[in-house]
Structures are given as C-alpha cells and as structure tokens.
Amino acid sequence: MKRVALFASLSALACLPPIAVQAQAADRPLPPSGQADEPAQSRADQSGNGEIVVTARRREERLQDVPVAISAVSGDALQSRAITNVEGLRFTVPALVVSPTPFGAASPGYTIRSQRQLESIISQDPSVGIYFADIVQQRPQGTNTSLYDIASVQVLKGPQGTLFGRNTTGGAVLITPAKPEFEPGGSLSVMVGDYGQHALTGVANLPLSSTLAIRVAGNITRRTGYFDNVATGQKVDSQRTESGRASLLWQPDDRFSSLTIGTYFHEDDAGLGFFPYALRPGSAAATFPGYQADFDASQRRGDRTISNNLQPLVKIDSFSVSNTSTLRLGDVTLKNIFGYRDVKTFGSFDFDASAVTLFESRNDFSSNQWTEEFQVLGKIGPSIDFITGAYWFNERGRDTQSSVLFGTRINDGLGDNSSTSLFAQGDWKVSPTLTLTLGGRYTWDERSLFAFNKLNSQCRLVATNVPVTSPGAQRLDPCVRQSTVDFRAPTWLATLSWRPVDDVMLYGTYSRGYRSGGLPLRANLPAETVPFAPEFVDNFELGLKSEFLDRRVRFNAAAYFDKYRDIQRTLSFGTPLTTVVLNAADARIWGGEADLMIRAVRWFELNATATYSKNQYGSFTGPGLGDLSGNRFAFAPELIYTIGGRVVATFPGNNGELSARLDWFHQSSIYVADINDIPIPAYGTLDAGVEWQRLFGLPLDLRAFVKNVTDRHYFSGGVSTYPSNGLSGFFPGAPRHFGVELKAHFGSVR
C-alpha cells in the first residue's frame, strides 16, 4: 500500500528536473581542460571569466560562491581525458580514491578524507554516497559504469548530514546525465585500441513537441583483458558491457517541468586477477600443500601474469527509473524526487592468488531500493534563501558469500533497511559581504537481518557463546538468526562566509555527519550478534576560494580537522578466519586540499592539485588483539597530487582546434585492511592525449590517448589476511594502453 500511495503522489505532483552543473553559453577563448573545478558545459565569456555552476546545496550556484569543498568535472572534460568509468575519476578529482574491492572493479570502494566502507555488505552503509540523477546508489555494486552522455560529475568533500538523502561521513559523488533539449541532435562515436579495446556510443536527442523532448543514449564496450591467467589459460581484467538510458522531459510552461530517466546496465566479463604479493613464513598458507611452490613461481613470472585456478568472473544487471519534477509558485518551488533501483551481481574471486584451492569465494548479491524526497525551496524577504523537506528510503536485498578456507563456509543474509528524515537549511545574507548558513536534519534508521551461516555444511550459528567447534556447542535448528535494530540521530551544519572583495571568499564551517549502525552478517555466537553502533564525525573546516587576473588564475583551498568517534571497523583475524565489525572508540583526521588553475595566455593552461589527509586513532582495541591504535585507516593515502598542462592551436579557415595534454598522478602508499600489515607501495602514472575538434571544419572530433605512458607497474587494490593466514593478494594496475576515438555529432549534442 505504501508503494501504491507513493505512485499516486507522483501522479498528483511530479516536480523539478535535476539541476546540473552548467556554464554560461558564450564562447570561450580557451576550452576547459577537464581538470577538477572547471566549467561543466565548456563555455565562458570572451575575457575568460568562466562561470562554474554547481548544486552542492541542491540549487544552482557559482562554484566560487559556494562555501563548500567541492570539485566539478564536465562531461566534455571526461571525454577529452578518456575517463570512461567512475574509477577513472580518481585521476582528476582531488581527495577522491576509487579502487576495486574484494568483489571486483565493478563494485568499487570510495574514499574521501580517509573515510571508506571496507566491504560492501547488505547490513552496513557506505561512508561516501554515490548519486545518479539525484538518486542515491546505496550499494556500490554496478556503480563503476561507463560515463557517457554525462553533463557533469561533482565531488563533495566532508560530512553530508543536511541536504542529501543518505547521511554520509566522508562525502558524496553526484553524477548528472545530460538531459533532453528542445533542439534535435545526435552523436555516434567509435573507439578502438590495444588489448582488443573497442567501444560504441550513440546519443539521439529529439523534441517530440514544443513541450516534450526525449533523449536516448547507449554504450557497448569490449576488452579482451590486460593479463594472462596461466592457471586457466584465459584472460583477466577484461570488459564486456552493454548499457542504455532513456530520458523524457515534459515542460509545458516555465513553471512546471518533469524529467523521467530509465537506465539499464549489463556486465559479463572476467574480473580482476589476484597476484600473491606477500607470504608470511611458517603461516597456515605457507605450510599449505603446494602453496609455497606456486607463490615462488608467481614471483618469477612477475606481477603481470596471474595464476588463479578459480577464474575471476563478474556478472551484473542493474535497472533504475527516476522522476524529478518541479512546480514553481512565485518565490516558492516545490520539488519531488522519486527513484527505484534494482541490482543483481555475481562474482568469483581467488583470494589466495594461486593455482591451489586455499581461499576462494563466490558472492551473490541482489537488492532493490525505493526513494522518495519532497522539497520546498524559497525566499523570506530579500536576504534569506531556504530549503526544507522530507526523505524516505527503503532497501531489501540478499547477500550470499560462499567461501573455501580450510573448509567450506556460507554466510547468507536477508536484509531490510529503512530510513526516514526531515531537514531544513537556510542562508541569511547578514550584509553584502557576510552570509550565515544554518542547517539541520533528523534521521530515523531501521534495519533487520536474517542470517544463515554454515561451516562444512553444518550450521555455524549456536545458541550459547560456545564456539561451534567445541563439544558443548548447541547448533540452531532451523539454522537462522533474526536481528532487528533502529538508530536515530540529529546532524547539522553552520557556515559563515565572508567576501572581502569580489573574487575572494573565506569561509568557516562546523558540521556533523552520521553513518547508520548495522548488524554483523557473519556473526555466529550470540556475543557476536551485538549491533555495531552509528559513527559520527564533527568537521571543522576553513576554506578559501579566489580568482585573479580577470579570472585567468583560480586558487581554491580548504583545511579541515575531523573528530571521528564510534568508527565502524572490519577486522579479520585468527585461524580459522573470523571476521567481525566493531566500533573503534575515536580518531582524529586532519588535512587539506588545494587546486590551482593558470590560464595566463590563450594557448596554454596549467592545472595542479594536492590533497593531504592524516589519520590517527585515539583509542582502538580488538577482541584478543590488544591495542590497535597504531594502525592507519585502510585505503586512505596520506598524499595525492596531480599536475597537468595543455596547449591549444586553432587552425585557420575554420578547420578546427588541436589540443594536446600531459597529466601526472601520484598516490602515496595505502593499507588494504584495518589491521595493517603489508602496504601497497606508492606509485605515479603519466597520461597523454591529443584532440582535434571540428576536424577540417566538419562536425567530427578525433581523439587519441595513452594511459600509463611509462608503463609503470603498480597495484590498485587487494585483500590481505597476512596476520592470520599469512598471505596478501593485490590487483595489478592497468599497463600502458592506448586508444583512438572518432566522434560524429550534430545539432544539440556534442
């Protein structure tokens, strides 16, 4: 009945199109490079005064006017830098780390300001929210999709505890697809490259009437795989995807608009291969029959040859539909955002990274989610802007992990998660140069979990706190344990921004973020079923946004200090392996971000970014593990920096524009587990690209790119059970590869 009522409400009030990152329509003397914090629609005025418009506060504002740490990249910039999926964003957006998880590259983990959910399971929420067309993608499974026909990507840094649907402590990534326009247009692009790469992307935009327009886009990708798996004779890290999107915009007048978007994504390919990076002498893995010999053989072959007897495999099917509608009534705007997402995934992973059967896993995951958000936006007098509303979220899913690790085990759970919240935020312009922003949200979360856990085909759930391997263990029959828990919390934000001169803004922010608690999927003993508590972050931030020399130089920076408590941590330890989620008492995170753009002359542009994030536990102990406070956060590099340059030449006679660029990316070392052991070493990569827009004056664009020009060997992620079982398996990063793309376009589509 709730869903019937929901659809009825949508029929009665379909409210506003999603506000994308946009830029002004005048021609620009130098098109944007694609560096973070650049105009989203690739246009500015003749003096180079580009207007970057973002929606970090759920309404359109110039980037330089928003007292928020945010980076924005346009769809054109993504194309020119050959960023074809979400993982590629880490090479251009400061402070964002996107890397494969144990469940493969198609289900990545996201880190912002040292905060990340280590595993993606149905009973635990992410630290970083991913939004597509204003709809949260609660589970990362299937979010590493192709970025095509995109208007913009925005990355918000720091707690999101007021205006965004799902509270997060680290930040949010907002992906906005291009919406229909009332002018016909279309494009078709073909990309080919080495390693069997080829991709086909098509876009068609068609006005059906003066009030109705449709936009359809589709993408097909193929890659044979970067590395050989000598154990199976097949390739790993291949790519085989098909996806499509249809958007319908109804805009009968200038007061009302309704945008409906449907998406489909399918992937069926070989996943990431594991390379055995480290083996602890005398450990359970080192003494397992045949493992030491296979490890030694892998070291001799090198890290670009895989030996996984369980062939990595990833299958994903996802479907979504959303409607964003707006009704403007004078100074008040009513906005309604509805969304539905269904995702099904299957993956197989050889965690022991060898040709022997020691630690292998298969994961089946399926979920569907419903979201509903209603907003009221308006003004009170000449000096106050406000937004208030309500949000509802429900998710149901099943998460099944079947593993081989000194026996067979199954962790199976049915989860049902709901969240309801009320929120409000307002800006008060105290004076022409001083603005105070206050916001608050109250959230109610409910979770339930049915767990079915077995070891060697016998129930692993017991009625007392006696391990199942002990003689006195009382196995549950039927083998199921139900848990229900609820949480509630207020979150808030207070910001004071000051503009001493037109192109300089200083701001200070105090905000609180919250991540819901959860239930342990792998719990077996009653003592292990205790829910883990919500975590909270108090964020103190100072920021600067500035432009100089007729806005040809832009420098933005932020420094922050976070007080982090009740931190959710995933610990794997012991033989046989035990995995628990618990709350570390507290920690501190401090750091800063800066990005610089210099466009002193028309034909040359320089971009540089730097991000530093240091974390330290105040208190952290584990069951039987003692003091763990000396550990660093997993997947949280201390330093990331980029530097890039671009030169541009315009051909005479309207024969187009040629540009070339180089980009260097560096990331410091990271650990892949909350109990630190063997780190992934620091690395840097160099990318290059050439683009000829309007080839010979025709509606054609020709692009060529080379990724990892120096063919640097590095690792992008991995899994480590070094302290317990004695092994660490990492994912080799992509080798040097190149591609060439030809795109034909006309009308409203570029």
Place of tokens 């026996």: 407
> What's the pLDDT score for residue 117?
84
> What's the pLDDT score for residue 29?
35
The set of residues, in sequence order, having a beta carbon less than 8 Å from that of 562 and lying 6+ positions away, is 113, 537, 538, 539, 540, 588, 589, 590
The whole model's pTM is what? 0.89
The upper half-sphere exposure of residue 313, i.e. CA atoms within 13 Å in the direction of its Cβ, equals 14
pLDDT along the chain (750 residues), means of 10: 38 33 33 37 33 79 88 86 86 84 79 88 91 92 86 91 86 93 96 96 97 97 96 94 97 96 95 94 93 96 95 94 96 96 94 94 95 96 94 96 88 95 96 96 96 86 76 81 94 96 95 93 82 94 94 95 92 72 91 94 93 94 85 94 95 92 96 91 96 95 97 94 90 96 92
- What is the C-alpha separation between 674 and 119, in angstroms, rounded? 11
For 690, the token pair is 């050439």
Q: In the beta sheet, which residues pair with residue 320?
A: 263, 341
- What is the C-alpha separation between 613 and 742, in angstroms, rounded? 40
> What's the pLDDT score for residue 399?
94
Note whether 570 and 523 are within 8 A (CB). no
> What's the pLDDT score for residue 468?
67
| CA distance to 116, 138, 252, 447, per residue, from 125 (Å) | 10, 8, 39, 11
SS (H, E, C) 41-104: CCCCCCCCCCCCEECCCCCCEEHHHCCCCEEEEEHHHHHHCCCCEHHHHHHCCCCEEEEEECCE
- Sign, CA dihedral 155-156-159-161, equals negative
- What is the C-alpha separation between 350 and 352, in angstroms, rounded? 6
Triad 254, 260, 261: Cα angle to 5°: 135
> What's the pLDDT score for residue 525?
79
The set of residues, in sequence order, having a beta carbon less than 8 Å from that of 423 and lying 6+ positions away, is 162, 163, 388, 389, 390, 391, 439, 440, 441, 442
The set of residues, in sequence order, having a beta carbon less than 8 Å from that of 45 and lying 6+ positions away, is 24, 26, 28
For 642-664, the DSSP string reads: EEEEEEEEEPTTT--EEEEEEEE
Triad 14, 17, 23: Cα angle to 5°: 165
> What's the pLDDT score for residue 108?
87
